[in-house]
């Protein structure tokens, strides 16, 4: 009788494991089968995702992604899951998520309606304003001073489109110059190959803080757009999306997101241990109070 009970328990256990394996789908199954989860990291999207002095990926979104990784390990009961980090750019980040190379893109990606046709997003964890950085010595304060001048932005971003669609930018004939990443775009401004660099204000503030002479630069002009920034994942993967959503919402509810914001935006950070002193916007406070994955278009209503 005892042997029969043991056999029955073993059968139940095996069936339960088989059921779990059958029920797993999408990214969670991929991670369980491979034993690896791959994070897409940005090398110069400070302070969301960037490299420190030891070339290690750090930042606000890196910390959040590792919280998600911990939840995946717990869900799969696999504490030994390997975490791989894959550098991505503005140009290749979406294709690498879509084709399965990257499971979580932990960078500085705007959640908008067009991108939602290709990928999914976690609840918003940052809200940015798109503005322009200039050298103070240029005297440039607004878009209408850019006529005939080179303006830098990063390949694969939407900044130039936003400039051209803005009321003040519609009739301005400026020359577009593209950097391969944000650091390269800022270098164009730094070396006078561009008179302005248009990008998310938090990223510009991070680049200015790390510049040789931070006091030489300013953020000027109108906000071209207010955009939700979020961690990106594959579309049509409800199991993984559900897990990611729960993690981010729990971080918001517990106050952990506020602590991470303070750590990365209001405290000294690598590599120079300088604080950006970038206060949390009312828009981000509202999103943390009521987490959602609404696209940028909803912020214009």
**pLDDT for 22-55, tens place per residue?**
589 999 999 999 999 999 999 999 999 999 999 9
CA angle centred on 190, ends 150 and 219, rounded to 5°: 80
Q: For residue 194, give the CATH number of its domain.
A: 3.40.190.10
Instruction: Assess if residue 18 is contained within a domain.
Output: no
Q: Which sign does the torsion angle of CA 208, 294, 243, 262 carry?
A: positive
Which tokens belong to 160? Answer: 């130039």
Across the range 135-162, mean pLDDT stands at: 90
Instruction: Assess if residue 6 is contained within a domain.
Output: no
Instruction: Assess if residue 277 is contained within a domain.
Output: yes
| pLDDT at position 300 over 90 | no
Adjacent-strand bridge partners of 134: 196, 218
pLDDT-derived band at 241 (thresholds 50, 70, 90) equals very high
Looking at the structure, tell me whether residues 121 and 62 fall in a common domain: yes
Q: What total number of domains does the chain contain? A: 2
Across the range 94-123, mean pLDDT stands at: 97
Instruction: Assess if residue 46 is contained within a domain.
Output: yes
| pLDDT at position 274 over 50 | yes
Instruction: Assess if residue 250 is contained within a domain.
Output: yes
User: What whole-number distance in Å separates Cα of residue 180 and Cα of residue 93?
Assistant: 13
Looking at the structure, tell me whether residues 163 and 180 fall in a common domain: yes
Looking at the structure, tell me whether residues 236 and 111 fall in a common domain: yes
The answer to which of 10-19, 52-61, 106-115, 240-249 has the lowest mean pLDDT is 10-19
pLDDT at 6 (0 to 100): 46
CA angle centred on 185, ends 183 and 191, rounded to 5°: 95
Which tokens belong to 294? Answer: 């609404």
Adjacent-strand bridge partners of 41: 87
Average pLDDT, the chain: 91
Instruction: Assess if residue 2 is contained within a domain.
Output: no
pLDDT at 166 (0 to 100): 72
Alpha helices in 128-173 (DSSP H): 159-165
Inter-CA distances, 81 with 2, 25, 38, Å: 37, 17, 10
| Domain, as residue range, for 189 | 129-226
Inter-CA distances, 107 with 5, 88, 192, 232, 242, Å: 52, 8, 27, 8, 20
Looking at the structure, tell me whether residues 107 and 243 fall in a common domain: yes
pLDDT-derived band at 169 (thresholds 50, 70, 90) equals low
Instruction: Assess if residue 10 is contained within a domain.
Output: no
pLDDT at 110 (0 to 100): 94
Instruction: Assess if residue 17 is contained within a domain.
Output: no
Looking at the structure, tell me whether residues 218 and 240 fall in a common domain: no
Q: How many residues does the chain have?
A: 301
| pLDDT at position 133 over 70 | yes
pLDDT digits (tens, 9 = 90+) for 65-75: 999 999 999 99
Inter-CA distances, 264 with 24, 281, 293, Å: 35, 14, 22
Looking at the structure, tell me whether residues 110 and 169 fall in a common domain: no
Q: Identify the CA nearest to 127 among candidates 13, 9, 295.
A: 295
| pLDDT at position 187 over 80 | yes
User: What whole-number distance in Å separates Cα of residue 138 and Cα of residue 115?
Assistant: 35
DSSP-based three-state secondary structure for 6: helix
Q: What percent of the chain has pLDDT over 70?
A: 91
CB neighbours (10 Å) of residue 205? 21
């Amino acid at each position: 009788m005892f042997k029969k009970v043991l056999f029955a328990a073993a059968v139940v256990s095996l069936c339960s494991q088989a059921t779990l394996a059958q029920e797993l789908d999408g990214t969670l199954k991929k991670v369980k089968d491979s034993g690896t989860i791959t994070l897409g990291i940005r090398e110069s999207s400070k302070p969301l995702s960037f490299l420190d002095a030891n070339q290690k990926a750090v930042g606000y979104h890196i910390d959040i992604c590792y919280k998600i990784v911990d939840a995946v390990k717990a869900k799969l009961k696999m504490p030994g899951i390997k975490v791989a980090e894959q550098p991505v750019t503005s140009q290749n980040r979406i294709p690498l998520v879509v084709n399965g190379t990257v499971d979580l893109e932990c960078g500085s990606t705007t959640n908008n309606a067009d991108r939602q046709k290709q990928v999914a997003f976690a609840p918003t964890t940052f809200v940015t304003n798109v503005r322009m950085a200039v050298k103070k010595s240029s005297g440039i304060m607004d878009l209408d001073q850019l006529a005939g001048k080179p303006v830098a932005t990063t390949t694969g971003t939407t900044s130039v489109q936003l400039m051209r669609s803005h009321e003040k930018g519609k009739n301005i004939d400026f020359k577009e110059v593209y950097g391969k990443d944000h650091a390269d775009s800022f270098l164009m401004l730094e070396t006078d190959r561009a008179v302005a660099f248009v990008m998310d204000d938090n990223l510009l503030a991070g680049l200015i803080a790390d510049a040789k002479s931070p006091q030489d630069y300013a953020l000027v002009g109108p906000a071209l757009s207010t955009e939700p920034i979020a961690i990106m994942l594959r579309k049509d993967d409800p199991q993984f999306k559900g897990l990611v959503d729960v993690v981010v919402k729990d971080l918001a509810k517990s106050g952990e997101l506020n602590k991470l914001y303070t750590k990365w935006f209001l405290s000294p950070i690598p590599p120079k241990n300088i604080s950006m002193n970038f206060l949390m916007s009312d828009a981000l406070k509202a999103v943390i109070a009521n987490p959602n994955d609404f696209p940028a278009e909803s912020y214009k209503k």
